[in-house]
Every structure is written in structure tokens, then in C-alpha cells.
Amino acid sequence: MKKDFIRIPDLTRDEIDGIFNTAFELKRGSPSETGQAPLKGKTLIMIFHKPSLRTRVSFEVGMARLGGRAVHLRDEEIGVDSREKLEDVGKVLSRYGDGIMIRTFRNEWVERLASASSIPVVNGLTDIHHPCQVLADIFTLKEKNLDPDKMIVAYLGDGNNVCNSWIDATQRFGFELRVAHPQGYSPDPDVLAEAGKKGKGKVLLTQDPREAAKGADVIYTDVWASMGKESEREARARQFKPYQVNRTAVSLAKKNCLVMHCLPAHRGDEITDDVIDGPNSIVFDEAENRMHLQNGLLATLLGRKK
């Protein structure tokens, strides 16, 4: 049976741990160097409705390292629901490839594509979720010897798709997540409600960034205006200024706290240069690990027996 990855709770904790182990193994040695090619002859079809640096390169290079290949498609070549119904796209691509990755706006599109496809579908980002990013973040923290069942993560800023996926992750891990956000910028209420019912971890919402950062193991932030919200950037900058990750915020956390940002970063807005380039930052380790985590995910999903 094929397995899709649309949200973190789509995977069991055992499945996630297995993906982490595979990712660690693949990271230790390039498949081309070790003779491993778990996806030799496999093709990942990638659909992009949103621009990308890390998502495209990490998936494309990752497939090459695993012995497979990736095909890049823009919506101009598809015309979802205008030129061609999304369900038909899923059925056709299932005849050509072994997996589909889609980076788009509406989460509903990922769900519809997955329902129509007979090959695994991976959510590369939607307006509501960014599951590959947050799994890569947790993978990175494990690599830095933090326990995902015991750590405290302070998320400062917008309750956006990355924040929602961090909340989703509390359904599988026992960490404490403290989300500090300005009034009116809280995470998705349905995501919060589900985590409240099924969560293994704990989610705290506050409008006080100091409360969130105090004693935290990890301080995490993202852009204040995500893609599609650029017109709100100036207004958001005024409201979000107290949530900037700077030396003051870092000083409130544990002495050796780790600072994370999913990138791209607007330096001087949500994070300062001295922090993102400072000794607490693991931002670029986190960016590298997008590829390694996704390699573990792809090797698992596309290598499954149908």
C-alpha cells in the first residue's frame, strides 16, 4: 500500500524514528560512495506553485544521491483546475513516476492529488503545513543531542505553516512548544484543537515573547510575512518587532540554547545578524538537513512495495 506524507501525524512515531535512522545512515555516507542506490531507476515528479530554493534543490539533489531523478513542473505547464482537473493530473503522473512532491498554496490540493494518485504524494509546503521542514528541524535537534520528548521549544513570531507543523509534531513527540505571537496572528485553530485532543506534547500560546523564551532549549523563528502576505510586510513589521530573535531573547533561554530559522531570513527583522551568525545558531545545519531528512523519507516512501 502506498503511503502519503501530507502532515506529520500521517506518520506513526515508529515510522518517523525509522525515517530518522535511514536519514542518519544516508547522511554518514553518500549512496554513490557506499554503493547504495535505494531509489535507482525511480523518478520523483515535483510540482511548484510557489518559488523555492531549498525545497527544489534538496529534493532534486537528494534524488540524484539516491540513484533516482527528479522532474520539475510549474503550474504554467499544468494549469491545475483550469486547463486540467487536479485529479486527472494525479492519475496521469502516477503512470509516469514513482512519487510526487507538490509545493503549493491550498492544502486541499495536496489532499486531492493524494486521493487521485496511486503513487506516494509528499507535501513540500502549503499555506497551512510545512511538514518536511519541521521533521528536518527535529532530526537536526536529535543530531545535536536534544531529546524531542523532553526539550522546550520557543517559537517567536507568526502562527504560520511552519508553526502549525510544529504543533502537529506534538502529536508524535513529548516536547513543550511555547508559541509567542502578536494578537491576531495565532496558529490554525483546527490544528490547535487536534493537538489538544491527541497531543503527546504540550502547546502553550502567549503574547509575551519573554515568557516563551525563558529557559528554552530552542528558539525558533520564521519570516513575519510569508509568501502571499508580502503586501502586509510593513504593518506586520511594527506588530512583530517585540518578537525579534536578538541577543536579549537568546539571553533569556538556556545558556547553550540552539537558534533555528527555516529560511529565507529577513535579517534585521525577525532575526539579527549577530544571532543567525552567532554561536547558538544551527540555521545552516538545519538547511542542510532538509536534504538528508527528505532522503530518508523518500527512500522509505518510494522504496515501499506497492
Residue of 49, 112, 172, 290 marked catalytic: 290
236 tagged catalytic: no
- Which are the contacts of 49, defined by CB distance < 8 A and separation ≥ 6? 74, 75, 80, 102, 103, 104, 105
CA distance between the termini of the chain: 5
The question of whether 290 is a catalytic residue gets the answer yes
Q: How many CA atoms lie within 13 A of 178 on its CB side?
A: 21
Distance CA 159, CA 205 (A): 10
217, 222, 261, 292: the catalytic one is 222
Any idea which residue has 513543550 for its cell? 176
Is 262 part of the annotated catalytic residue set? yes
Provide the CB-side half-sphere exposure for 215 (13 A, CA).
5
User: Of 4, 172, 262, 292, which one is the catalytic site residue?
Assistant: 262
Residue of 7, 54, 65, 103 marked catalytic: 103
Cis geometry, peptide bond prior to residue 38 (ω within 30 degrees of 0):
no
Residue with cell 529565507: 264
The active-site residue, picked from 49, 133, 168, 257, is 133
Active-site positions read: 103, 130, 133, 222, 262, 290
